[in-house]
């Protein structure tokens, strides 16, 4: 289901802060992530380290019933996590680096143990965007921790996400401009993003499907097997 190679941006530590440097799109995305989304760096925390280690995005056979959405060509996977005593944290999934969520965005403090799965990208006009596609331990009602055991139902999880995001991520103009809840639906509908039928404001590089484990999304791949007659098969 891949439209074009999907690039995961370089580490935050790979970007030179020299103002005269000509930045690549990857580096511009990293700079926006570091300056817009993230505040100060954090000492590794036990409650966030476990989440960073659990995140994996593998390739799997396409499933028409899988809840699926698009992935930008240029992107970085991150999680916004609520902690017990340290407020909201940002985990960069590819490196495990942890930062305090920027206070400028004025996002409400998430319930401890809640994780919001996101991809960061740049729109065609250069706007930094954080796309929200899934969540872990989402509360069934406001401010009440959810039951992680019920997370395996992806449709139920997305329904809770749609209720949760306006309560916590739309409390300021800056947050509304930065965070966007993605459309997530069955795979056949999501293929329209690959075909260019829906303009999302940035190049689409592929699709991502939710699984029973919010930390393990997959990239759906379709494999077409040629139809051969018995005679053709024997000739091979």
Encode pLDDT of 180-203 as tens digits.
Answer: 999 999 999 999 999 888 999 999
Encode pLDDT of 87-144 as tens digits.
Answer: 999 999 998 899 999 999 999 999 999 999 999 999 999 999 999 999 999 987 554 5
* Band of residue 213 on the pLDDT scale cut at 50, 70, 90: very high
Q: Where are the beta strands (DSSP E) in the chain?
A: 7-8, 38-41, 58-61, 67-72, 74-82, 88-92, 98-101, 115-122, 128-136, 179-181, 185-186, 204-209, 218-221
Return the closest-CA partner of residue 61 out of 6, 1, 117.
1
Q: Is the confidence at residue 11, as pLDDT, over 90?
A: no
207 Cβ neighbours under 8 A, 6+ residues apart: 1, 2, 68, 69, 70, 71, 187, 190, 191, 193, 194, 219, 220
Q: What is the pLDDT of residue 50?
A: 81
Give the β-pairing of 7-8 and 74-82: parallel
Encode pLDDT of 137-179 as tens digits.
Answer: 998 755 455 555 466 799 999 999 999 999 999 989 999 999 9
Query: Cα separation of 144 and 138, whole Å?
Result: 9
Q: Is the confidence at residue 229, as pLDDT, over 60?
A: no
pTM for the structure as a whole = 0.83
| Complete domains list, the chain, with CATH | 7-235 (3.30.470)
Q: Where are the alpha helices (DSSP H) in the chain?
A: 25-32, 46-54, 154-169, 173-178, 187-194, 230-235
For the chain, what percent of residues have pLDDT higher than 70? 78
Q: Which residue has the tokens 């999680």?
A: 79
Q: What is the pLDDT of residue 201?
A: 96
Q: What is the pLDDT of residue 52?
A: 83
Taking residues 32-58, what's their average pLDDT?
Answer: 83
Encode pLDDT of 47-63 as tens digits.
Answer: 677 888 899 999 999 99
Encode pLDDT of 82-102 as tens digits.
Answer: 998 889 999 999 988 999 999
Taking residues 58-75, what's their average pLDDT?
Answer: 95
Q: How is residue 8 written in tokens?
A: 């995961």
Q: Which residue has the tokens 């190679």?
A: 5
Q: Is the confidence at residue 5, as pLDDT, over 50?
A: no
Q: What is the pLDDT of residue 146?
A: 53
């Amino acid at each position: 289901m891949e439209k074009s190679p999907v690039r995961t941006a370089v580490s935050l530590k790979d970007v030179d802060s020299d103002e005269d440097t000509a930045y690549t799109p990857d580096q511009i995305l990293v700079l926006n992530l570091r300056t817009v989304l993230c505040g100060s760096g954090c000492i590794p925390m036990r409650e966030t380290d476990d989440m960073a280690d659990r995140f994996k995005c593998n390739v799997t056979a396409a499933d028409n019933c899988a809840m699926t959405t698009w992935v930008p060509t240029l992107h970085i996977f991150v999680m916004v996590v609520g902690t017990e005593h340290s407020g909201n944290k940002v985990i960069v999934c590819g490196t495990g680096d942890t930062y305090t969520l920027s206070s400028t965005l004025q996002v409400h403090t998430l319930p401890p143990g809640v994780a919001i799965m996101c991809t960061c990208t740049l729109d065609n006009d250069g706007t930094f965007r954080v796309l929200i596609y899934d969540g872990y331990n989402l509360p069934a009602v406001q401010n009440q921790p959810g039951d992680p055991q019920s997370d395996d139902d992806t449709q139920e999880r997305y329904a809770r996400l749609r209720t949760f995001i306006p309560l916590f991520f739309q409390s300021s103009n800056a947050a509304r401009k930065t965070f966007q809840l993605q459309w997530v639906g069955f795979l056949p509908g999501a293929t329209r993003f690959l075909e260019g039928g829906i303009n999302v404001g940035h190049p689409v590089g592929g699709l991502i499907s939710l699984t029973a484990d919010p930390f393990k999304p997959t990239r759906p791949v379709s494999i077409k097997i040629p139809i051969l007659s018995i005679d053709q098969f024997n000739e091979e």
